[in-house]
Each structure stands twice: as C-alpha cells, then as structure tokens.
Structure 1
Amino acid sequence: MTSTIDRDRTTAGPVRPRAALFDLDGTLVDTNYLHTLTWWQALHQHGHDVPMAEIHRAVGMGGDRLLDHVLGAGHDHREDQALDDAHHALYATWFDALPVLGGARDLVRAVAARGMRVVLASSASADEVAAIRKALGVDDVVHGATSADDVESTKPAPELVERALELAGVEAGEAVFVGDTVWDVKAAARAGVACVGLLTGGVSEAELTAAGPVTVYRGPGELLRGIDSSPFAAVTA
C-alpha cells in the first residue's frame, strides 16, 4: 500500500468516519474492461473508430461525458442516445455474469460492521446499478444508492458524491469515498470528501495520486486487510 493522502488535522482531531461511499464499476465489480469493449462495439456500429485504450481512460464518466471525451465536444450529438442505447444493450448481456472483485463483499460488510453507513455512488444507469447490487448481494448492509439517473452531471462533477452524502446524512468531512478512476478522485475532491483509490480499474497509481490527495490500494482485499490503518479508521472531524 502507498499512502499519499494529505490528512490535515483540525483541533477536533481525527474521528472514525460515519459513512463509506463506494463507486461500483472497477471498484467492487471487475467491469471496466467490459464497459470498454461494449462502448467500442457501440461506437464501431455507428462508424466511429476509437482505440480501446482511449475508451478505457474515459470509463467512470457518465455516458454523455464519455462520448464528449472520446469523440470531442463538437461531435454530432444527435446520435448520442443511439450510441448510449447500443452500449447499454451490449453491456446488459453481462448482467447475469458480473464478476465481483475479491474481497469486495467482505469490505462492504466490514465498514458497515464498524458502524458506517454504506452508500453506493455510481455514474452507471439505475438498471446497471441494480444488476451490480444483485451480483454483490450485500443490500442488507447498504444504506442507499445513487446513479447517473439521479443527477444532471456525472463524474468528475461532484454531484453524485454530494447526493451520496445526502443519502448518508453526513457532512463531507465525515465520509470516505472509494473509487478506481481519476474521475472518482476528482469528483470526491470537488465534494470535499477523502478518497481511497483502488488499482482494480486498470488506472495506474501515479495517475490516481496525480488526480488529488488519495490513498491507493491494490484492490478491495488489500484495503480490507489494512482497514484499521486506512482512512476508514479516522478522518478529520
């Protein structure tokens, strides 16, 4: 584990966080490359030749932002809905076989057992989030969930994280966000929430740490093993 988070302390000192906010794709389920492939297929169907590496770097954004990122803000937006629908149809074929990352279920249960409210905050659509929740099987400890359908702007805008804070009923300084992309890190930073980064989404540690103050673990299993020395043990009050 490499810890690079800047933990400035107020006079109140560190306290255990009251909420754990989790991204889903690439963080709890191993789906970033499935999104990369199905976005590539959708774009290819509509005559766009975009390298998979470029698509992968945009995964974590909502569909609208992703298309601007890979096609340019000046592309013909009249086909955006068709592209989004094509991606969704292709990705939905995986709904019954979404791979859960090792340690993910136990990590969610561990933070809940420590008295934190678990809220899921994903840039995916509501039905994609529902499919992931079914695969995870931890709804008995999940306090709430939000998706791209609940906000106007997806990551890296802070709205999803702010919405998750509202669902948890906590202030930004009382929560820790876990994500796997630079878009997660930026969204959390803009919302004022401490962030933990996981390398399971295919983004390098250097890229994650460059996006803002963040502690990086190889995956949910490593975070679980070190949970009592992680930002989940204490954040600034």
Structure 2
Amino acid sequence: MPTDKPTGVLFDVDGTLVDTTYLHTVSWWEALRQTDRPVPMATIHRAIGMGSDKLLDHLLGPERDRSADQKLRAAHDTLFAEYWERLVPLPRAADLLRACAERGLRVVLATSAAEHEVVALRRALAADDVIHTITSSADARESKPAPDILVAALEQSGLAAERVVFVGDSVWDVAAAGELDIPCVGLTCGGTGRGELAGAGAVAVYEDPAALLAALDDSPVTRAG
C-alpha cells in the first residue's frame, strides 16, 4: 500500500461531538405524541443515529401507513430547531478535532444531519479552522446503518477507507463503519453503553471526546492507515 496517501479521522457529530442525542429523543417523542403514535423515550433513544426514514420504520414498523411520515419529520425538525441556539459541544470536542489536525490527520465530519442543522452544529463546535470536509443528509441516498454517508465523506475528502478511523456514539455508527471495514471508535456520551458499542464491533470505547483526547496518542485514531 502506498504510504503517501493522506490519513484521516471521520467523526459523527450528533451525540459524538455535540450534545444532541436526548434533544432528538425528546423531539421525536413529542412529534409522535402529537400524531397519536406514542413511543417510549427509551425505545426512541436506542434508534437515534438512524436517518428519519429508518428510524420511523424501526419505531412504527415497515408496514405502517406512511401518509403521516412527512408530518412527523416536519414536527421533529420544528421541535429540534428550538434548541439550535442552545446547542453545546461535548467535553473538549473542539480540542479533540484540533489535536487530530495537529497530528496530521485530515478531520472530516461525516454527519447525515440536514444542511440547516449542520449550520447549528458547526456553530456549536466552533472548530471550522481544522475541519477539512463536512457532509450532510443531501450527500447520502440511504441513511445509517447503511454506509452511504461515510462513502460520501471519503469521496469528498480524498481519503481511502483503509486510511481512516470513524468515531461515533451509536451501534448504527459501528454498523455503518463495519460495512466498509473502517475501524470504529465508540463514545458513550450519546447514551449507548460501553458493552453494547464493543459488542457491535467498536475497536475501542471512551466516555467522551475529552477521554479520547487524553488517550489520543495511544488510541486507534492516531494509528489510522
């Protein structure tokens, strides 16, 4: 394998770098409640990380009447937008991105958030100076656990799958990375436990960006490629 190819690290954003997992959970819970489709929050939380299409299939069943799907998505988006100005990064998230860049890694945000949400997420992170590439939902035909958004991130950043590591917070992140044989580092700050992430195939698990930063030089991230 040529050694002059760039190496990089792909990051999920929601629940991995920005503290949004439970905000999405509450927003979906309320959207479902408003349309008389109540689902327990714990069940919703475990589906966060999927795209909205697969999330609704997961929660309501693939054979359901889909006529209300667009209304549900719109309600979720409206409810979640109320939090945009209050979004906060998870501990030392921006410092982690900068530390990766300082080590010569190309930093890529592989998010399937809608473009208007990406603006709010970038503002919360305040690390544009070290981010090489950012994706959005418009870049993927199919959402996680399909690997489409990771494929788009690789293509847009000029990186190869064998030269990157993916950092995410859900089993859906681990599954998407596994489709491309990309090692996935799991963070538990999105609410999924260490055992579940490791059981899904994460090569290492840390509490949050701060914990990964503290161990960065001994982590799979700096061994990319």
Counterpart for residue 165 of structure 2: 176
Name stretches of at least 5 consecutive residues in structure 1 with no aligned partner: 1-11
1:53 alignment partner, one of 42, 50, 63: 42
* Cα distance in 2 for residues equivalent to 1:213 and 1:40: 28
Per chain length, whose mean CA-contact separation is higher, i.e. which structure has more relative contact order (CA < 8 Å, sep 6+)? 1
The answer on 1:154 being equivalent to 2:156 is no
* Cα distance in 2 for residues equivalent to 1:76 and 1:147: 28
Q: Residues 213 and 96 from structure 1, CA distance in 2 versus in 1: closer, same or farther, beyond 3 angstroms?
A: closer
Which is helix-richer, 1 or 2? 2
The answer on 1:77 being equivalent to 2:78 is no
The answer on 1:133 being equivalent to 2:122 is yes
Is contact 2:165–2:221 with CA below 8 Å preserved after alignment?
A: yes
Alpha-carbon displacement from aligned partner over 1:124-168 (angstroms, at most 9, x marks no partner) = 211111110011111111111112221110110011111111122
Counterpart for residue 65 of structure 1: 54
Aligned-residue offset at 1:109: 0.6
Following superposition, which runs of at least 4 residues in structure 1 exceed 2 angstroms of deviation? 14-17
Q: Which letter does structure 1 place at the counterpart of 2:193? A: S
Q: Which letter does structure 2 place at the counterpart of 1:218? A: E
Tell me the TM-score normalised to structure 2 length: 0.96
How many residues matched?
A: 224
Aligned-residue offset at 1:233: 2.2
Name stretches of at least 5 consecutive residues in structure 2 with no aligned partner: none
RMSD: 1.6
Counterpart for residue 77 of structure 2: 88
Query: What fraction of aligned residue pairs are identical, expressed as a percent?
Result: 51
2:8 alignment partner, one of 12, 19, 30: 19
Alpha-carbon displacement from aligned partner over 1:193-223 (angstroms, at most 9, x marks no partner) = 1111000000011111111142100110010
Q: Which letter does structure 2 place at the counterpart of 1:18? A: T
User: SS at the partner of 1:233?
Assistant: helix
The answer on 1:101 being equivalent to 2:113 is no
* Cα distance in 2 for residues equivalent to 1:33 and 1:158: 23
Aligned-residue offset at 1:173: 1.1
Is contact 2:6–2:159 with CA below 8 Å preserved after alignment?
A: no
* Cα distance in 2 for residues equivalent to 1:160 and 1:76: 27
What are the equivalent positions in structure 2 for 1:192-211 lying under 5 Å apart? Answer: 192-211=181-200
Is contact 1:107–1:221 with CA below 8 Å preserved after alignment?
A: yes
Is contact 2:168–2:187 with CA below 8 Å preserved after alignment?
A: yes
Counterpart for residue 234 of structure 1: 223
* Cα distance in 2 for residues equivalent to 1:231 and 1:16: 18
* Cα distance in 1 for residues equivalent to 2:159 and 2:14: 24
Is contact 1:60–1:123 with CA below 8 Å preserved after alignment?
A: no
* Cα distance in 2 for residues equivalent to 1:58 and 1:148: 17
User: SS at the partner of 1:197?
Assistant: strand
Is contact 1:158–1:187 with CA below 8 Å preserved after alignment?
A: yes
